[in-house]
Chains A and B, each alone.
Chain A
Amino acid sequence: MRTKIVSGLAAAVDGIADGSTVLIGGFGLAGQPLSLIDALLEQGASGLVVVSNNAGNADFGIARLLAAGRVRTVICSFPRQSDSYVFDELYRAGKVELEVVPQGTLAERIRAGGAGIGGFFTPTGYGTLLAEGKETREIDGRGYVFEKPIRGDVALIGAYRGDRLGNLVYRKTSRNFNPMMATAATLTIASVREIAEVGELDPEAVVTPGIHVDRVVAA
């Protein structure tokens, strides 16, 4: 019987290579797949490019990867938070690169990456520092900035329930970046709080269809 469910966290993150671009779901701690990030830390991959909304909170999740020196570049919208001291220190010491992307543009770039779109023109950021060096165009009298898609080698997804086919549902605002990220990586790994039997998830309510998901782990 075909199953995407793997037996544990080590199996879930097996094979992630050094230098990978890793899309990590979550907004702050909501929907951030902490157990998968911890497993990735254990697995040992380094030189990573992390794409996520934030650059880690306190000593959890992404902050742990950063503290261990595994991250070369962070692409995010909002690194600076009250508890982002790990990132702040590394950034000020020049030990991690940062690309700041407006939040909606980050979401749409990842969506584009998963949807086979080669880029898009957005009004967000037009006329600001974050548009410098980018192609701009006036369309029907409004200024737009060209933004490229983002794809990952790996996506780490924090979902609520999932089945062996990889179908996922999320819970409340922990959905955030997870559904787009699930579509935009070569290897999509989802941690779920509960495994559901096939048929148990209402097909009308499935947010991430299983086609996008390669591995599911209960964590």
Chain B
Amino acid sequence: MSLDRDALAARIADDIPYGAYVNLGIGAPTLVADHLDPAREVTLHTENGLLGMGPAATGDDIDDDLINAGKQPVTEHPGAAYFSQADSFAMMRGGHLDICVLGAYQVSVRGDLANWHTGAADAIPAVGGAMDLAIGAKSVWVMMDLTTKDGASKLVESCSYPLTGVACVSRVYTGRAVFEVGAGGVRVLDTLGSTLDELRALTGLELS
């Protein structure tokens, strides 16, 4: 069995502790926001300069001066604060954020992250905040599919795509299983109903 994106986002939201300061990367990780229980008082950071980001803005709430890192219109919660990007990245680089949830092309068993560049010769390089996010939170979690459309594992012994950060990811959430990665290698935290043999077949990795 496997979880769909929404169910996986809900699972991640459930693992975020009370009162945490969290940055959700562009793409699938933004879905996590929809599943955060307000009673948990999680504060969302967006690296373009806001703590206390609210949901996407619609209709009359759209304000061109109030956008998220994906340049989409958003809202602010009471108690929000604005700051410059130097302050925003100091907040990140300085290790003040608790959790960052990012998408990825590949993650290695020791926690290397590849999510900014496919390495294709004709690609226009664009990094944005990816490298800062990769090294900038106390815990960096990745939300991704376990395999590509062609069936290749995205959890790998060693990344073949250009790295975004070295040994920075601690946890990988996929629809098939949740993994811990790092200096001690890879470990399955939650099989989400898969068997270890199924996960070994999908990843080609020694798993326990």
Q: Which residues of A sit under 8 angstroms from B127, Cβ to Cβ?
A: 77-78, 100-103, 130
Q: Is the CB of A104 within 8 A of B64?
A: no
Q: Is the CB of A176 within 8 A of B48?
A: yes
A176 to B69, CA, bound (A): 11
- The count of residues in chain B whose C-beta lies closer than 8 Å to any C-beta of chain A is 41
* Contacts from B to A (Cβ < 8 Å): 46-50, 63-68, 71, 76, 82-86, 88-90, 92-93, 117, 122, 124-132, 135-136, 162-166
With an 8 A cutoff between CB atoms, is A91 at the interface? yes
Q: Which residues of A sit under 8 angstroms from B46, Cβ to Cβ?
A: 173
Quote the shortest CB–CB distance from B27 to chain A (angstroms): 13
Q: Which residues of B sit under 8 angstroms from A100, Cβ to Cβ?
A: 125-127
With an 8 A cutoff between CB atoms, is A79 at the interface? yes
Please name the residue on chain B nearest to A115 by beta carbon: B86
Q: Is the CB of B122 within 8 A of A92?
A: yes
A125 to B131, CA, bound (A): 6
Q: Is the CB of A176 within 8 A of B49?
A: yes
Q: Is the CB of A29 within 8 A of B126?
A: no
Q: Is the CB of B132 within 8 A of A103?
A: yes
> What 1/0 flags go to A89-107 for Cβ under 8 Å of B?
0011000001011111101
Q: Is the CB of A173 within 8 A of B131?
A: no
Please name the residue on chain A nearest to B122 by beta carbon: A92
Q: Assuming the A-B contacts A28-B71, A128-B163, A175-B84, are A102 and B131 also in contact, with contact meaning beta carbons closer than 8 angstroms in the complex?
A: yes
Q: Is the CB of A27 within 8 A of B89?
A: no
Q: Which residues of A sit under 8 angstroms from B131, Cβ to Cβ?
A: 102, 104-105, 124-125, 128, 130
Given A31-B65, A128-B166, 15 more A-B residue pairs with CB atoms under 8 Å apart are: A27-B49, A81-B71, A100-B125, A102-B127, A102-B129, A102-B130, A103-B128, A104-B132, A104-B136, A123-B135, A127-B163, A127-B165, A130-B131, A172-B65, A178-B84
Quote the shortest CB–CB distance from A142 to chain B (angstroms): 9
Q: Which residues of B sit under 8 angstroms from A125, Cβ to Cβ?
A: 131
A179 to B46, CA, bound (A): 18
- The count of residues in chain A whose C-beta lies closer than 8 Å to any C-beta of chain B is 48
Q: Is the CB of A177 within 8 A of B132?
A: no
Q: Is the CB of A107 within 8 A of B84?
A: yes
* Contacts from A to B (Cβ < 8 Å): 27-31, 53, 77-81, 88, 91-92, 98, 100-105, 107-108, 110-111, 122-130, 143, 160, 170-180, 207
DSSP majority for the B interface?
A: loop
Q: Is the CB of B163 within 8 A of A173?
A: no
Q: Is the CB of B67 within 8 A of A104?
A: no
Q: A79: which of B66, B126, B162 is its contact (CB, 8 Å)?
A: B126
Quote the shortest CB–CB distance from B179 to chain A (angstroms): 21
A21 to B161, CA, bound (A): 33
Q: Assuming the A-B contacts A172-B63, A172-B65, A172-B76, are A104 and B82 also in contact, with contact meaning beta carbons closer than 8 angstroms in the complex?
A: no
A28 to B135, CA, bound (A): 24
Q: Is the CB of A177 within 8 A of B85?
A: yes
Q: Which residues of A sit under 8 angstroms from B85, Cβ to Cβ?
A: 27, 53, 103-104, 107, 176-177, 180
Q: Is the CB of B67 within 8 A of A122?
A: no
Q: Assuming the A-B contacts A91-B124, A129-B117, A173-B49, are A77 and B129 also in contact, with contact meaning beta carbons closer than 8 angstroms in the complex?
A: yes
Q: Which residues of B sit under 8 angstroms from A127, Cβ to Cβ?
A: 163, 165-166
Q: Is the CB of A102 within 8 A of B65?
A: no
Quote the shortest CB–CB distance from B35 to chain A (angstroms): 24
Q: B129: which of A81, A92, A104, A129 is its contact (CB, 8 Å)?
A: A104
A107 to B87, CA, bound (A): 9
Quote the shortest CB–CB distance from A205 to chain B (angstroms): 11
Q: Which residues of B sit under 8 angstroms from A176, Cβ to Cβ?
A: 48-49, 84-85
Q: A80: which of B48, B88, B126, B136 is its contact (CB, 8 Å)?
A: B126
A178 to B48, CA, bound (A): 12
Q: Is the CB of B166 within 8 A of A124?
A: no
Q: Is the CB of A27 within 8 A of B126?
A: no
